[in-house]
Structure 1
Amino acid sequence: MKTWKRLALPFNLLLLCPLCIQAQSNYKPGYVVTTAGDTLNGFIDYKEWVQNPASISFSPAEEGGAKQVFDATTASYFEINAMEAYQRYEGPVTMNPVKLEELNHTSTTEVDTMTVFLKLREKGKNMNFLSYTDKLKTRYFVQENNGGEPVELYYRRYYSSASGHAQLMTQKIYIGQLVVLAAKYGVPGLKRAIEKADYKDYDLNDIVSLLNGSTTSEIAAANKQIKNSRFYAGIALSRNVAVIEGKHPMSNVDKNSARFSPRITAGVDIFVNRHVQKMLLRIEATAATASSTLAKKESFYSSGSTSYTYKVSQQSIGLGPQLIYNLYNKDNFKLYVGLGAGIYYSHISDNTYTRQHENPSVSYEYKPTIYEDYFDIKPFWVAYTLRSGIILNKKYELSAIYMPPATVTQYVNYALRFSAATLGVNYLFSR
Structure 2
Amino acid sequence: MKNYFKLPCLAVFAIPFTLKAQTNFKPGYIINLKGDTLKGFVDYREWERNPASVNFRTTVNSATEKYTVENSQGFALTGYEYYERFTVRISQQTVDVTRASTEAMDSASVVNTVFLKLLTRGDKISLYSYSDEIKTRFYIKEKSGVPQELVYKLFFNESGSLQTVNRYRVQLQYLVQKNNIDDAGLSQQILKAEYNEHDLLSIAKKINGDKGHSFTPKSNGGKQFFVGTGVNYSTFKFTGSSALFPGMTENSILPQISAGLDLFFNNNTRVVYFRAEVSLSGNSFSYPPTPIATGSSTPATATLKINQYTFSVTPQFIYNFYSQDNFKIFIGGGARFNISKYNNSNFVITYGTSSSSTQNYPEFRSMGVSIPLKAGVTINNKLEFNAGYTFPLSIVKAPYLSSLAICGLGVNFLFGK
TM superposition shift of 1:305 = 4.4
Residue in structure 2 matched with residue 334 of structure 1 by the alignment: 327
- The match for 1:406 among 384, 389, 393 is 393
Q: CA separation of 1:12/1:81 partners in 2, compared to 1, >3 Å: closer, same or farther? A: same
Residue in structure 2 matching 1:175, options 169, 175, 180: 169
On the 8 A contact 2:393/2:402 being kept in 1, the answer is: no
Counterpart-to-counterpart distance in 1, 2:124 and 2:387: 52
User: 2-side partners of 1:155 and 1:406: how far apart?
Assistant: 51
Q: Report whether the alignment pairs 1:69 with 2:66.
A: yes
Deviation at 1:151, TM superposition (A): 1.4
SS state of the match for residue 374, structure 1? coil
Is the counterpart of residue 367 in structure 1 residue 356 in structure 2? Answer: yes
Alpha-carbon distance change, 76 to 381 in structure 1, aligned in 2, over 3 angstroms:
same
8 Å CA contact 2:376, 2:384 repeated in 1: no
> Which amino acid is 1:276 matched to?
T
For residue 110 of structure 1, what is the aligned residue in structure 2? Answer: 108
Give the deviation of 1:413 after TM superposition: 6.7
Whether 2:260 is the aligned partner of 1:266: answer yes
Moved more, 48-57 or 397-406: 397-406
Cα gap change, 1:367/1:26 in structure 2, threshold over 3 Å: closer, same or farther? Answer: closer
Equivalents in 1 of 2:186, 2:313: separation in Å?
Answer: 46
> Which of 247, 263, 272 is the matching residue for 1:280?
272
Deviations 1:108-148 (A, max 9, x none): 13211111110112222322121111122111112122x12
Q: Is the 8 A contact 2:333 2:373 kept in 1?
A: yes
SS in 2 for 1:135: coil
Q: Is the 8 A contact 2:370 2:390 kept in 1?
A: no
Contact 1:229 1:270 in 2 (8 A): yes
Q: Residue 191 of structure 1 corresponds to which residue in structure 2? A: 187
Change (3 A) 1:381 1:68: closer
2:402 aligned with 1:415, yes or no? yes
Aligned mate of 1:325, from 320, 324, 334: 320
Q: State the Cα deviation string for residues 73-110 of structure 1 (Å, max 9, x = none).
A: 33222223333211112121111122233222222132
Contact 1:253 1:294 in 2 (8 A): no
2:208 is equivalent to residue 208 of structure 1? no
Q: TM-score, normalised by structure 1?
A: 0.83
Query: For residues 84-99 of structure 1, what are the structure 2 equivalents within 5 Å?
Result: 84-99=81-96
Q: Are positions 1:346 and 2:339 aligned together?
A: yes
Q: Distance in 2 between matches of 1:296 and 1:198?
A: 70
Separation in 2 of the partners of 1:350 and 1:81? Answer: 58
SS of 1:21 mapped into structure 2: coil
Q: Which amino acid in structure 1 is aligned with residue 201 of structure 2?
A: N
Contact kept, 8 Å, 2:230 with 2:411, in 1: the verdict is: yes
Distance 1:412 1:201 in 2: 58
Secondary structure in 2 aligned to 1:16?
A: helix
Partner of 2:281: 289
Q: Which amino acid aligns with 1:324?
A: Y
Identity of aligned residues (%): 21
Question: Does structure 2 retain, via aligned residues, the 8 Å contact 1:319–1:343?
Answer: yes
Distance 1:322 1:127 in 2: 40
Look up the match of 2:372.
384
In 2: Cα distance, 1:282 partner to 1:76 partner: 36
Q: Distance in 2 between matches of 1:410 and 1:232?
A: 37
CA distance, structure 2, for counterparts of residue 223 and residue 36 of structure 1: 26
Aligned to 2:50, what secondary structure does the other structure show? coil
Structure-2 residue corresponding to 1:234:
227
CA spacing shift, 1:49–1:149, aligned 2, 3 Å? same
- 1:83 alignment counterpart: 80
The answer for the alignment partner of 2:240 in structure 1 is 246
CA contact (8 A) 2:362 2:396 kept: no
Q: Distance in 2 between matches of 1:89 and 1:17?
A: 41
Label 1:426 to 1:112 Cα distance change in 2 as closer, same or farther (>3 A).
same
| Kept in 1: contact 2:5–2:407 (CA 8 A) | no
Structure 2 distance, partners of 1:93, 1:16, is 43
Gaps of 5+ in 1: none
Question: Where do residues 293-312 of structure 1 align in structure 2 (5 Å cutoff)?
Answer: 293-299=285-291, 304-312=299-307
Pick closer, same or farther for the CA change 1:78–1:349 going to 2, 3 Å.
same
Flag the 1:259–1:275 CA change in 2: closer, same or farther, 3 A. Answer: closer
Alpha-carbon separation, structure 1, partners of 2:156 and 2:307 = 58
CA distance in 2, matches of 1:409, 1:184: 75
The count of corresponding residues between Structure 1 and Structure 2 is: 408
Deviation string 1:217-246 (CA, Å, 9 cap, x unpaired) is x99xx9994352122121222416252333
Who is 1:313 aligned against?
A: 308
CA contact (8 A) 1:389 1:400 kept: no
- Say whether the 8 Å CA contact 1:240–1:290 is kept in structure 2: no
Following TM superposition, the consecutive aligned residue runs of length 4 or more in structure 1 with deviations greater than 4 angstroms are 222-225, 300-303, 407-413
- Residues 199 and 276 of structure 1: CA distance in aligned 2, closer, same or farther (over 3 Å): same
- The answer for the alignment partner of 1:138 in structure 2 is 136
Shift of the alpha carbon at 1:356? 1.6
Q: Distance in 2 between matches of 1:412 and 1:159?
A: 58
Using the TM superposition, give the Cα deviation of residue 424 of structure 1 relative to its aligned residue in structure 2, in angstroms. Answer: 2.2
| In 2: Cα distance, 1:183 partner to 1:251 partner | 84
Q: Does 1:356 align with 2:353?
A: no
Secondary structure of the 1:47 match is: coil
2:412 is the alignment partner of 1:425: yes
Structure 1 residues 226 and 183, CA gap change in structure 2 (3 angstroms): same
Secondary structure, aligned partner of 2:94: coil
Aligned-pair Cα RMSD in Å: 3.1
Task: Report the Cα offset of residue 30 of structure 1.
Answer: 3.2
